[in-house]
Amino acid sequence: MTSQSIQQSGPVRTARHGDVLVIVADSPPVNALGAAVRDGLEAAIKEGVADSSIAAMVVRCDGRTFFAGADISEFGKPLRGVPLPDLVNMIEASPTPVVAAIHGSALGGGCEMALGCHYRIAVPSAKLGTPEVKLGLLPGAGGTQRLPRLVGTGIALEMIVLGNPVSAQKAKDAGLIDRLAGENTLEADAIAFAREIAGKRPIPRVRDRHVEADAAAIAVFRAEHRRKLSGFDAPEACIACVAAAAERSFADGLAFERDEFMKLMTGTQSAAQRHIFFAERQAAKIDGVDPATPLRPIAKVGVIGAGTMGGGIAMNFLSAGVPVTIVEMQQEALERGTGVMRRNYEASAAKGRIPADAPDKAMALLTPSLSLDALADCDLVIEAVYEDMSVKKELFGKLDAIVKPGAILASNTSYLNVDEIAACTQRPQDVLGMHFFSPANVMKLLEVVRGAKTAPDVLATVMALAKRIRKVAVVAGVCHGFIGNRMLMPRQVEANKLLLEGATPEQIDRVHVAFGMPMGPFQMADLAGVDIGWHRDPTRIENIRDALAAEGRWGQKKGAGFYDYDDKRRPTPSPRVAEIIDGFRTSAGTKPRAISDGEIVARTLYTMVNEGALILEEGMAQRASDIDVVWIYGYGWPVYRGGPMFWAQTEGLDKVVAGLERYGFPVARSLKAAAGNGEALK
Ligand code: 3HC
């Protein structure tokens, strides 16, 4: 039966299909449940309930997805329209049954909406999830009370506390949806389903279901995920709410959920995590480049160097289905590199992270070669060779002559001057930096270094490509170390000075780990290799690092570095390192003093903020939030602190300035100004 009349209320319209009222929301890009959508839905449901000729209702969305959640941009602002929890309760209470028809993603408030409906049908490609925890929140529209009642404590914990969505099939197996629709026939299938259930009574309401308390499942879950969740407030609140679903009445559970939600919503962690949500999306936007700029097609990529970095870089493209030609100088190195790539894929397949046939599929797209000539028809060539300017210059000169006109030439340099490299070619407009982070197939960050002459479409192409290979890309300017490594430098310098003045590696690392970093500077040095960047002359000992390297204390790989390691690579403080540090203190005539944790924070973290401010002043980052994205995705800065620039704001810029001044650092002009007039760094 075709629709007879169409009513429109803001972004929501209704259409009658005989005795079924189809309610359609259309609020691009992701049908977030903002005030206008909520009000429109409320009006539509009321219309259906009031009409005795309507036997059932279907709620679906236009566009690319079902409701992707509450509208995050409304958070922290005065409430307008019907509150989401009330809307969900009202739908659930409807005396006329409602079917949720899901495509794309039903996330957060969208999933909670579906839980308030009486039946759920989804296309096979749909995903359902409650990712609020990733925003430092919990499902606050009844999700913590309804989901466990519907799918049990175990799956509810996985979904709510980890925040990962499930496929439609998994949702069906778990009882979260009732039926799978045809991929392209969602509306028709949902209407047919609605007719089937229209007369069924009682109407199934999730609130009426009961879930058994399962303390054992909660204990196991906590133990299993303790490390991953430590430092975050939201996961514990999520767990408490899931437990409450079994222990309390529905009404009490909802009230408990509301309290916990409001506590999180008004806290710093959620503000930080929401900041990063938008910062990540903002980072993709390039100042001064029209978003409609036509992109260059990238169908084939070349990578030079099959070492750890080159291999990891190549894997990103292979995994995304892009053919790669990888070039090395020696057959043995080429075989070693491609062998490592295959083994990495196979290890992922063995762990079930990728399908069993993925390693073969990916490796079939790889062409190993010993000749740069093999790169002639690539659309993008990324150089990942030894970090030496003369080597890179020579290479780019050769590439310029070999690779087809219009192809993009990129360097994976982590420090060197991209403009100098570009100047060795006849096409500096096609040259930029693509700085991947190790392990390059795992780390999400990509610094895209815009040279003085890089063409806008080249930059736009690489930023779009980054999304295709699932990286979070940030535009950086040409300066030593770009954004991330440049900010690492003051931290490193101060950490070393602090050792000489009286701190220990353990103390400095402890302060950083307590702050939420995955490891401190000396643990990081031991992991990466104390010998990295070492001049390799054991007689030339200018600093503590040289002394360690000269003794073969190269870090974890040697069982000794700033720490001693046992055969399971467990670290203990090293008496020998203490001796070495003492030796340097004596020869410098420094009497060690007690160093407070606060001093460590000021000198290793405030100095990073200061460097970030300089980077902004010089235009080397487009915006402060880009710097935050770099540190979250490239260096493991705790997301609940929102990145260094956001954190400085929560710490208080005046406190940061005072700390820097106290220890004698020249404070960046913009930082001082922002602190002075109470503004944020932008
Ligand atoms: N609220 C407001 N804006 C949102 C949004 C939301 N829930 N979800 C996405 N957007 C915006 C993005 O900021 C972006 O805006 P821009 O184009 O101006 O940068 C635009 O929509 C497109 O988003 P993506 O670039 O992320 O698009 P993708 O297609 O890559 O991904 C998605 C789509 C999977 C839906 C992804 O956007 C996503 O994960 N969204 C967030 C989902 C979420 O966290 N939902 C829970 C919200 S909190 C909640 O519901 C509380 C409730 O329990 C009370």
**CATH classification at residue 375:** 3.40.50.720
Residue 601 inside a domain? The answer is: no
> Is the C-beta atom of 303 inside 6 A of ligand 1?
no
- Burial letters 165-189, b for 16+ CB under 10 A, else e: bbebeebbebebbbbbbeeeebbeb
> Is residue 25 within 8 Å of residue 101, measured between CB atoms?
no
Q: Are residues 177 and 40 in the same domain?
A: yes
- Residue 76's region, left for phi above 0, alpha for psi from -120 to 50, else beta, is left
Strands, DSSP E only, in 29-180? 56-61, 98-102, 105-107, 119-122, 127-129, 166-167, 179-180
Q: Is 141 in the pocket of ligand 1 (CB under 6 A)?
A: yes
Active-site residue, selected from the candidate residues 112, 383, 447, 494: 112
Q: Do 309 and 258 have their domain in common?
A: no
177 and 129 assigned to the same domain: yes
Contacts 24+ apart (CB under 8 A), 206-211: 206/92, 206/115, 206/116, 206/146, 206/149, 206/150, 207/92, 207/142, 207/145, 207/146, 207/149, 207/250, 208/250, 209/149, 209/150, 210/149, 211/148, 211/149, 211/152, 211/153, 211/245, 211/246
Q: Is the CB of 115 under 6 A from ligand 1?
A: no
In ligand 1, which atom is closest to the CA atom of 110?
Answer: 50
131 lines ligand 1 (CB under 6 A): yes
Cβ neighbourhood burial of 612 (10 Å; 0-12, 13-18, 19+)? buried
Q: Which residues contact 285 (CB under 8 A, 6 or more apart)?
A: 291
Strands 20-25 and 56-61: parallel
Pick the closest to residue 308 from 462, 391, 412, 380 (CA basis).
Answer: 412
Q: What's the pTM?
A: 0.94
CA–centroid distance, residue 324 to ligand 1 (Å): 32
Amino acid 406 reads G
Same domain? 28 vs 122: yes
Mapped onto helix, strand or coil, the DSSP state of residue 183 is: coil
Please state, as a whole number, how many other Cβ atoms lie within 10 Å of the Cβ of residue 626: 26
Which residues are registered as beta bridge partners of 398? none
- Residues 390 and 507 placed together within one structural domain of the fold: no
pLDDT single digits (tens) 520-551:
999 999 998 999 888 999 999 999 999 999 99
The predicted pLDDT at position 678 comes to 87
- Report CA(611)–ligand 1 centroid distance (Å): 31
155 and 104, same structural domain?
yes
Instruction: Indicate if ligand 1 lies below 6 Å from the C-beta of 33.
Output: no
Task: Please report how the helices 669-676 and 607-617 are oriented relative to each other, as an axis angle in degrees rounded to 10.
Answer: 100
Share of the chain above pLDDT 70, in %: 99
Distance 512 CA to ligand 1 centre (A): 31
Write out pLDDT tens, residues 583-602: 999 999 999 999 999 999 99
Decide: 105 in ligand 1 pocket, CB within 6 A: yes
For residue range 566-584, what is the model confidence (pLDDT) as tens digits?
Answer: 999 999 999 999 999 999 9
Instruction: Using the mean position of ligand 1's atoms as its centre, give its distance from the Cα of residue 31 in Å.
Output: 9
242 and 389, same domain (yes or no) = no
Residue 278 CA: nearest ligand 1 atom is 13
C-alpha 17 – ligand 1 centre gap (Å): 31
Last residue of a domain, one of 211, 246, 265: 265
For ligand 1, is residue 257 a contact (CB within 6 Å)?
A: no
Residue 250 lies in a domain: yes
Among residues 531, 562, 588, which one ends one of the domains? 588
Q: Do residue 321 and residue 250 come from a single domain?
A: no
140 lines ligand 1 (CB under 6 A): yes
Contact 85 CB / ligand 1 (< 6 Å)? no
User: Among this protein's residues, is 112 annotated catalytic?
Assistant: yes
> Which pLDDT score is estimated for 371?
97
What atom in ligand 1 is closest to the CA of residue 70?
Answer: 50
Q: Is the CB of 135 under 6 A from ligand 1?
A: yes
Q: Ligand 1 center to residue 109 CA distance, Å?
A: 11
| Tokens at 619, concatenated | 């235009």
Is residue 279 within 6 Å of ligand 1 at its C-beta?
A: no
Residue 183 CA, ligand 1 centroid: distance in Å: 23
List alpha helices for 117-214, DSSP H: 143-151, 153-157, 168-174, 186-197
Ligand 1: which residue has its CA nearest to atom 52?
109
656 Cα to the center of ligand 1, angstroms: 33
Residues 139, 108 contacting (CB under 8 angstroms): yes
Q: Is 241 in the pocket of ligand 1 (CB under 6 A)?
A: no
What six digits make up the tokens of 463?
A: 């930023």
* Spatial CA neighbour of 474 closest among 674, 263, 301, 616: 616
* Residue 138 CA, closest ligand 1 atom number: 53
Quick one: residue 152, left, alpha or beta (phi over 0 = left, psi -120 to 50 = alpha)? left
> Looking at the 3D structure of the chain, how many domains does it have?
3
The residue whose CA is least distant from atom 13 of ligand 1 is 278
Residues 514 and 473 grouped into a single domain: no
- Which atom of ligand 1 lies nearest, measured to the CA of 131? 44
- The continuous run of DSSP H or E covering 327 comes out as strand 324-327
In a domain, 565, yes or no: yes
What's the gap in Å between 277 CA and the centre of ligand 1? 8
Structure token pair of residue 12:
């929501």
Integer angstrom CA distances of residue 575 from 290, 484, 506, 544: 59, 33, 12, 14
Give the distance (Å) from ligand 1 centre to CA of residue 137: 14
Would you state the torsion angle of the CA atoms of residues 257, 259, 260, 266, taken in this order, to the nearest 10 degrees? 140
Query: Are both 165 and 17 inside the same structural domain?
Result: yes
Closest C-alpha residue for ligand 1 atom 31: 30
CATH of the domain at 79: 3.90.226.10
Task: Judge if 473 and 517 occupy the same domain.
Answer: no
The parts of the chain modelled with pLDDT lower than 50 are none
DSSP-derived secondary structure letter, 604: I
Q: In terms of Cα–Cα distance, which of 431, 424, 417, 414 is closest to 393?
A: 424
**DSSP E strands, 439-580:** 445-449, 472-476, 563-565, 571-573
Q: Is 599 a catalytic residue?
A: no
Ligand 1 atom nearest to CA at 139: 53
**Which listed residue (42, 47, 92, 132) is catalytic?**
132
Tell me if 270 is assigned to some domain: no
Which residue among 30, 31, 166, 444 has the greatest number of ligand 1 atoms within 8 angstroms of its CB, and so is best to mutate? Answer: 30
Is the CB of residue 107 below 6 angstroms from any atom belonging to ligand 1?
Answer: yes
Q: Is the CB of 70 under 6 A from ligand 1?
A: yes
Same domain membership, residue 109 and residue 15: yes
Residue 613 placed within a domain: no
Q: Is 296 inside any structural domain?
A: no
Domain carrying residue 532: 503-588
Please tell me the distance from the alpha carbon of residue 445 to that of residue 517, in angstroms, as a whole number. Answer: 16
| Peptide linkage before 235 cis (omega within 30 of 0) | no
Number of H helices, E strands in the chain: 28, 20
Q: Is 292 a member of any domain?
A: no
For ligand 1, mutation pick of 72, 135, 161, 639 (most atoms within 8 Å of CB): 72
**Ligand 1 contact, 73 CB (< 6 A):** yes
> Is 460 a member of any domain?
yes
Domain boundary residue, one of 265, 292, 317: 265
Q: Does an H or E element contain 501, and which? A: helix 484-501
